[in-house]
């Protein structure tokens, strides 16, 4: 197994991407408290992350709504179920922790959904920023609430932005 990493600049700060045998396994904001130890990142490279760089650039330019990348995120079964649900939340929309818990079949799993969002190893690509608290409250995000707000505003439909002006 060959593990490599790179740093990708974004409008909300540097992102660290980690791949194993060329497949994205982690994407997180540089300086994240719970990021992996430097030896776990593998070799630093510039090459090999071109498609991720391209798709992130398109996303931040408002030209891409969905990522089309192979991802191999490590997690337990429940986390992987939550991450699958996150990937199904349409661009420009949000879901609450409770709504995702209901989709899992048990409304009491809202805290487990929150924990899985917090453990999401592939930020932005697996859009945990689209999960909000009851009533649309901005709550928890591994990248910080300012970044979450930025990402949600980036994805906000034009009609909704215009409606906020009046």
128 counts as catalytic: yes
Pick the catalytic residue: 128, 131, 142, 151?
Answer: 128
Q: How far is C-alpha 77 from the geometric centre of its chain's CA atoms? A: 18
How many beta carbons lie within 10 A of that of residue 101, not counting itself? 20
- Pure H helices in the chain: 50-60, 77-87, 97-103, 110-118, 145-155, 158-165
CA-to-CA separations, 88 to 83, 97, 125, in angstroms, rounded: 9, 14, 11
Q: Domain 3-60 belongs to what topology?
A: Double Stranded RNA Binding Domain (3.30.160)
State the span(s) of the chain assigned CATH 3.30.160.70: 3-60
**pLDDT for position 38:** 59
Report DSSP letters for 65-97, one per residue: SS----B-----HHHHHHHHHHHTSPTT--EEH
Are the CB atoms for 82 and 110 separated by under 8 Å? Answer: no
pTM of the model: 0.90
Pairing of strands 95-96, 15-20: unpaired
Q: Domain 77-165 belongs to what topology?
A: Arc Repressor Mutant, subunit A (1.10.10)
Written as tens digits, the pLDDT of the chain (166 aa) is: 899 999 999 999 999 999 999 999 999 998 766 555 556 788 999 888 999 999 999 999 999 999 999 999 889 999 999 999 999 999 999 999 999 999 999 999 999 999 999 999 999 999 999 999 998 889 888 889 999 999 999 999 877 666 665 5
**pLDDT for position 40:** 75
State the span(s) of the chain assigned CATH 1.10.10.10: 77-165
């Amino acid at each position: 197994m060959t593990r490599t990493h790179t740093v990708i600049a974004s409008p909300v700060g540097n992102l660290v991407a980690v791949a194993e045998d060329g497949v994205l396994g982690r994407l997180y904001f540089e300086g994240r408290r719970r990021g992996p130890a430097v030896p776990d990142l593998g070799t630093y490279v510039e090459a090999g992350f071109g498609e991720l760089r391209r798709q992130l650039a398109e996303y931040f330019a408002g030209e891409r709504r969905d990522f089309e990348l192979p991802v191999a995120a490590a997690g337990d079964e429940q986390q992987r179920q939550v991450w699958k649900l996150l990937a199904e939340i349409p661009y420009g929309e949000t879901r609450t922790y409770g709504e995702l818990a209901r989709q899992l079949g048990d409304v009491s799993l809202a805290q487990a959904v929150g924990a899985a969002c917090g453990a999401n190893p592939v930020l932005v690509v697996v859009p945990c920023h689209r999960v909000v608290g009851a009533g649309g409250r901005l709550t928890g995000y591994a990248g910080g609430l300012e970044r979450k707000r930025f990402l949600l505003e980036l994805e906000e439909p034009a009609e909704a932005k215009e409606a906020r002006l009046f």
